[in-house]
Structure 1
Amino acid sequence: MTYGLLAKHINYGYIYLLINQLLMKCFLGFLLLFCSMFSSAQNIEQKVIPLDGDANLDRLILAAADKGLVLMGEASHGTHEYYLWRDKISRRLIAEQNFNFIAVEGDFASLYHLNRYVKNLDGAANSAQEILLKLNRWPTWMWANEEVVALAEWLRSYNDKLPQDKKVGFYGMDVYDEWNSKKVVLDLLKRTNKTAYRYVKSQYKCFGSHQGDSWSYAHAVRAGKEVCATATKNVVEYIRNNRSSFSELSDDSYFYLLQNTIVVQNAEEFYRESVASEGYVSWNSRVHHMHGTVNDLLNLYGENSKGIVWAHNTHIGDADYTSMRNTGEKNIGQLSREGLGNDNVLLIGFTTYEGKVMAGSSWGAPMQEMTIPPAVPNSIEYELNQIEQECFYMIFDKEDRKEENLKVMGNRAVGVVYNPFGDKRQFIPSIVPLRYDALFFFKKTTALRVLKK
C-alpha cells in the first residue's frame, strides 16, 4: 500500500503543472482515500528540535551512535547552512562516536590531496585552502569554500593527536575526473613498478585519440569504435590481484592506486551508457560506483568501521520512497539500507523553504548567487514553514511511518545547474518519513562562502 502512494511522474513540477487537470484531481483523490498528512496523527510541532545550539544535536548523535553509515544530504549543492550543520554533526560523530571517514560527492583523485593533508601523509600540502584553491573542475564551489576549509583544518588538528592508523580520512566518492585518475595511476606506477606501468599503459591505449574527452569516446563507441571496458577491467584486476607486487606502497597509497583504476573503469561505463542508453542506466552506473567506493572505505578501515557520507538528497534519501522508484533509478541511501540493513544506516535530509544558493545557469557556466523562491504548496518545505521555529530537525518514528499517517509530498531538489524561474519543477514526489530517518529544515538559507583566488 505504501508504494501505491507514490506519484507516477518523476518530476514534481510536472505534477504541479497538471494539478488542475481532471486526471491529476482523480489521482490526488485516490491518494486521499488512503492517507493524510503525517502530522494529523500527532502534532508535528511536538517533534521539532530547535537548532539553537550544538547541544540540541544530542538526540541525533545518540540515534547515529551505533550506525555503520550516517548519510547526510542537501537540497542544493551551494548552501551554507547544509555544510555548516553537516560539519557540526560530523565532528561530533568522529570525536564522540569514533567514526572513521567522511566520503563526499566529489572527485576521488583531486580530493585525495585533502585526505593526505588531514592525515599529514607524505607530500601533504601546507593547508586545506591551498589544496582547494587548486581545484579546477566545474563546479569548484562545492568544495573550494570556507565551510570545507573549516572542517578540514579541524580534522587535521584532531588527527594530529592520533596514531597514523587511527586517523580519520576524507575522500571523494564520485565517478568523475577520470582522466586525472588515469594520470595518477600511470604516474604512480612509473615511479614504483615499471612492469606494471608498461602493462597498464598498453591497456589504456585503447582510448586512442579520445584521451581526455570521455564524451568524444562515448560517441565514437556508439559509432562503432572499440569498447574499452575490457581494458579498464583488466587494469583493475591486475592491480587488485597483485598486491604483493606493490609492497613498497602503504595501505593508503595502494588504496589510492586501486581506487583510481576503479574510477577509470566505472567512468568508461558511465559515459558510454550515458550516450548509448536511455533512462536510468547511466544514473545507476554512477550510483553503484559511489556506493561501491563507500563499501571499499568500510573495508579499508576494517571490522566495525563507521563512515559518514555527504551527498545530495537525491543520493542519500531512499529512492524507494520517491518517484525515482517508478523510473528504475536507485541511490546510495537505498543501496545502503539494502546492504547493511535499516538498523545500521541513518539517512538525514536537509532542506529549506527559501533563500540564496550558489549555482550555474548551465553546465560549466560561471557560478552566481541565485535566489531560491518560496517552496510550492503540497511540498514538505511549505508544510514545515508553518512552524514558528526558524530552523530545526525531526527524527521520524514508527508513528510517523504508519500507513494512515503518510502522504506523498514534494521535496526540494536544486542542482549545480539551476534556474529559479523553473523552481516549481525542482520538487521530487516523496514519502518523507520513509525516505529519511531525520530531516533538517531552515526557513531561509544563505549561499556558500566560496574561496577567492
Structure 2
Amino acid sequence: MDDDDIRRLALPLDATSDLDPLLRRIGDARFVLLGEASHGTHEFYAWRAALTRRLVAEKGFSFVAVEGDWPDCWAVHRSVTLAPDAPTDPATVLAGFDRWPTWMWANQDVVRFTRWLRRHNAGLPEDRRVGFFGLDVYSLWDSLRAILDYLVEHEPEHVAAATAAFRCFEPYAEDPQAYALATHLVPTSCEDPVLVMLHALRGLTDGDAVPSTRDEQLDVEQNAVVAAGAEAYYRAMITGGPSSWNVRDGHMADTLDRLVGHHAARDEVDAADIRAVVWEHNTHVGDARYTDMARGGMVNVGQLARERHGEDDVVIVGFGAHRGTVVAAGAWGDPARVMTVPPARPGSVEAAIHEAVDAGSALFVVPPDPPAWMTERRAHRAIGVVYDPASEQWGNYVPTVLGRRYDAFCWFGDTRALTPLGDAGTPGGELETWPVGQ
C-alpha cells in the first residue's frame, strides 16, 4: 500500500466546516447512514451529531433514527418535538434509560445533540419538527405494555387482542432466553397471538388526524410491529446462524421505511421528499456485501437500504480509530467501565491510515474510481458493548473493502471514552467545545 495514495485523499477533520466535502458528496441523497466503530467512543458520537445538525439545518432532513429501542426513543422524540406534557429537557428522559447497555444512548453527547434538536424544533411548525426514533427490536415487554396502555384509553375494542398476546408471554417473566428455549423445546410459540394483535392494530391512523394524534397512532402500531419482530428474533436466536441477525436488521430496515411513509403522509408529500439520518454501528450500516458477513449469509441495514433505494440515494459514512479509550463491559450485563483500546492491528485499515497520515483525524470521501487501498480487503476494527482489549490479536476485526462498504470514512488517531449518565460513571466530562465549531 502506497502511503502517498492515502495522504492524497486525506482531508482535515478538525472543525465542522471541514464536513463541507462530505455535505457535497451527500448532495440530494435521501438516506445518510452514520456508523461508529464502538458504542462508547466520544469522537464517533460527537462527529455524527455535528454532521446531523448540518443535515437537519442546511438540507432539511426529516428525522433521525438510531440503533435504540422504540419505547425509550419515543420518549426522547416527544421531548425533542415539544409534545404536550413531555419533559422540557431531553436529558431527563435519557437519564431514565434503564435497559443495559444504558450508556449507549444515556450519555452526554446524546444529551447535547437532543437539546440542540429541541431548540431547533421550537422554531418549526408542529408538523415539520424533526423526530428521534428507535429502530431496534429488543423492547418486547415494554412495547406490549405501551400497547395496552394506549388501547385501554383510546381503542378499547382492540384490548382483547393485545391482552392475549401479553398473557402468552407472561410465563417467561420478561426473560427472552427462557422464551426462546421454550419455543425450541416445545413446538408452540406466541407468534399467532402477536400477529393477530398486529393485524388488528394496522391502519389505525385517520388521514384527517392532527399531527400529534397521527404520532400517537404510529407509536402503538410500531410497538405492535416491534412485538412481532422481537418474537421472531428470540425464536430465531436459539437456533444460531445468521437468521436472528437478519430478522433484526430486516426489522430495522423495515422500520426506517415505515418512518419515511409516516412522514410522507404527515407532511402530505411524496416519500421521495423525505430524508432520514441513521445512527448505528458500522456492522449495521456498512454494506455487508463488502465484508465477511456476506459469506455467513448475513445482510444488514446498509445493504438493504442500497438495494431498496438505490446507491445514489444512500450515503454511508463509516468511522474508525487507531487507539484510545472506550466505555464497554467485560461481559453481557456487567457494569460499564473505561477500557484502553490498544493501537490498531498491523495491516488493518486503521493502522494503514495512522502510518500514512500525520494528523489527529482525517476525512476520506470515496472517489468514483477508488484507489487500490480502498478496494483491497483489510481488517477493520469493530468494538461492541462487550469488549476485551486482550482479544485484539485474534478478534474485534471485520474483513472489509473500505471503498465499497462506505461512501466516506472518518478516522481518528486518538479517541476518548464518552461520558455516560448516572450509574455508568463519568469518565470524561462534558467536552463542551469539541469538535470546533459545533
Tell me if both proteins adopt one fold, taking TM over 0.5 as the criterion: yes
Q: Deviations over 1:128-169 (max 9, x none)?
A: 111111110000001111100110010000000000000000
The 2-side partners of 1:125 and 1:405 are apart by 46
Q: Is 1:71 paired with 2:33?
A: yes
SS at match of 1:156: helix
Shift of 1:192: 1.0
Q: Deviations over 1:69-90 (max 9, x none)?
A: 0000000000000000000000
1:431 aligns with: 401
The 2-side partners of 1:378 and 1:273 are apart by 36
Shift of 1:440: 0.3
Q: Summarize the alignment of residues 176-215 of structure 1 with structure 2, pairs less than 5 Å apart.
A: 176-215=138-177
Q: CA 1:253 to 1:360, structure 2 compared with 1: closer, same or farther past 3 Å?
A: same
Shift of 1:398: 2.4
Q: Is 1:350 paired with 2:315?
A: no
The 2-side partners of 1:426 and 1:208 are apart by 37
Q: Is 1:378 paired with 2:330?
A: no
Are 2:324 and 2:340, in contact at CA under 8 Å, matched by a contact in 1? Answer: yes
Which of residues 293, 297, 300 is equivalent to 1:328? 297
The 1-side partners of 2:220 and 2:110 are apart by 25
Q: Is 1:451 paired with 2:421?
A: yes
2:267 aligns with: none
The 2-side partners of 1:141 and 1:405 are apart by 33
The 2-side partners of 1:351 and 1:245 are apart by 44
1:340 aligns with: 309
The 2-side partners of 1:235 and 1:243 are apart by 16
1:168 aligns with: 130
The 1-side partners of 2:6 and 2:14 are apart by 18
Q: Deviations over 1:292-346 (max 9, x none)?
A: 1111111111121000000000001100000001001111011000000011000
The 1-side partners of 2:206 and 2:309 are apart by 31
The 1-side partners of 2:103 and 2:191 are apart by 32
Shift of 1:247: 6.4
Q: Which amino acid aligns with 1:364?
A: G
Q: Is 1:105 paired with 2:67?
A: yes
Are 2:161 and 2:200, in contact at CA under 8 Å, matched by a contact in 1? Answer: no
Q: Which amino acid aligns with 2:50?
A: K
Q: CA 1:242 to 1:256, structure 2 compared with 1: closer, same or farther past 3 Å?
A: closer
Q: CA 1:349 to 1:245, structure 2 compared with 1: closer, same or farther past 3 Å?
A: closer
1:263 aligns with: 226
SS at match of 2:390: helix
Q: Is 1:282 paired with 2:244?
A: yes
Question: What are the ranges of 5 or more consecutive residues in structure 2 without an aligned counterpart?
Answer: 265-269, 424-438
Shift of 1:122: 2.1
* Count of paired positions: 413
Are 1:72 and 1:316, in contact at CA under 8 Å, matched by a contact in 2? Answer: yes
1:314 aligns with: 283
Q: Deviations over 1:204-263 (max 9, x none)?
A: 322241242221111111111521112111111111144459969711101101000111
The 1-side partners of 2:306 and 2:378 are apart by 22
SS at match of 1:263: helix
The 2-side partners of 1:355 and 1:285 are apart by 33
The 2-side partners of 1:245 and 1:211 are apart by 38
Question: What are the ranges of 5 or more consecutive residues in structure 1 without an aligned counterpart?
Answer: 1-36
Q: Is 1:254 paired with 2:217?
A: yes
1:20 aligns with: none
Q: Which amino acid aligns with 1:452?
A: G
**Stretch deviating more after TM superposition (238-247 or 358-367):** 238-247
Q: Is 1:390 paired with 2:392?
A: no
The 1-side partners of 2:62 and 2:347 are apart by 39
Q: Alignment RMSD, CA only? A: 1.8
2:96 aligns with: 134
**Stretch deviating more after TM superposition (73-82 or 191-200):** 191-200
The 2-side partners of 1:139 and 1:405 are apart by 33
1:48 aligns with: 10
The 2-side partners of 1:73 and 1:359 are apart by 17
The 1-side partners of 2:207 and 2:350 are apart by 54
The 2-side partners of 1:99 and 1:312 are apart by 20
Are 1:132 and 1:144, in contact at CA under 8 Å, matched by a contact in 2? Answer: yes
Percent sequence identity over aligned pairs: 36
Shift of 1:47: 1.1
Q: Which amino acid aligns with 1:108?
A: W
1:369 aligns with: 338
Q: Which amino acid aligns with 2:22?
A: L
Q: TM-score, normalised by structure 2?
A: 0.91
